[in-house]
Amino acid sequence: MSYKPNEAAWMAYLYGEMESEERERMELYLTANANARLELENMKALQQMLRTVEDKEVIAPPIVVDNNKTRSLWDFPYAKTIVSIAASLLLIMVVGRLTDTSISSDDTGIHISFGSKVITPPVDNTPMLTQTEVQDMINASLHQNNDTWQQNLTENRLKIDESIRKNLAANNRNSERVDALVQQVASASNDQIAAYVASLQTENMRMMQDYMKLTTNEQKDYMENLLVDFSKYLQQQRNDDLRLLQTKITDVEQNNNLFKAETEQILTSLISNSGTSFQKSGIRN
């Protein structure tokens, strides 16, 4: 079998602390293995032997105290003072490092500052402009702006003049073209005018015929679609009427069949009752 107990399983079984299912597996293992049973017997014998051993009191060894008293460095009179001074200096250095403390000296004395050192930029001692110089600068700027404005105004005026000349030239060309057309119409003969009017009438007639033909075709298509829809409606109505009539006929047939069945049942009951009554009367006679 594949089960093989470990040391913890042996101890649990030996002291009765094993679960029932595990105990059954352990007992099957012991039944099948003679060496395991022998080992269990040895463990039980050792357990019985240990129970017979009595506990003995353990006596602590004596402590030997030396009469010569030793002195540590802390017992010397100057040690505490030196350590205190060193600790104070270390604390001051740490605080100075954390607060970014700086110490400087000059003719006025010693200065202690905290934080980063702010460098003051040198003051420019250039003298300020006088009122006359400021007014001259303003006048120069205004004069420069006026010159620029006059130049832009002149350029815009030239552009507008050029655009007006171009528009006038185009209008003159259009006027000349209109005059030529008027002269051409005035010089045309009556035959040319009649031919032009006839061509316009022919074109208008053709356009009217095309419009009427298109309208007629659209009306024809509309009427055909209307007739098709009406025919579909009539067919659908006819089908609905046929289904309704078929349903009514089916209901009538079912009612007739039910009436026949009830009639037959009543007749059968009457006949059976009559036969029974006749038999009873015959027996009494």
Per-residue tokens: 206: 């053709």
Taken as a whole, the chain contains a residue count of 285
Instruction: Look up residue 154 and give its two tokens.
Output: 């002149």
Q: pLDDT at residue 14 above 80?
A: yes
Per-residue burial over 183-199, b if 16 or more Cβ lie within 10 Å, else e, is: eeeeeeeeeeeeeeeee
Mean pLDDT of all residues belonging to the chain: 76
Tokens for 113, please give them: 């500052």
* Segment 49-80, tens digit of pLDDT: 877 766 666 565 555 555 555 556 666 666 77
Q: Which residue bears the tokens 């040690």?
A: 79
* Residue-level pLDDT at 126: 56
d(CA 117, CA 129): 34
Beta bridge partners of 101: 114
What average pLDDT does the segment 272-277 reach? Answer: 73
H/E segment holding residue 105: strand 101-106
Residue 107 carries which DSSP code?
A: T
Instruction: Please tell me whether the overall predicted TM-score, pTM, comes out greater than 0.85 for this model.
Output: no
Helices (H), the chain: 7-14, 20-32, 34-52, 79-98, 131-187, 190-284
Instruction: Give percent of the chain with pLDDT exceeding 90.
Output: 0
Residue pLDDT, tens place only, 92-126: 777 777 776 666 667 666 666 666 655 555 555 55
CA 73 to mean position of chain CA atoms: 72
Q: Per-residue pLDDT for 233 more than 80?
A: yes
The Cα 275–Cα 112 span in angstroms is 143
Residues 198-229: pLDDT tens digits?
Answer: 787 888 888 887 877 788 888 888 888 888 88
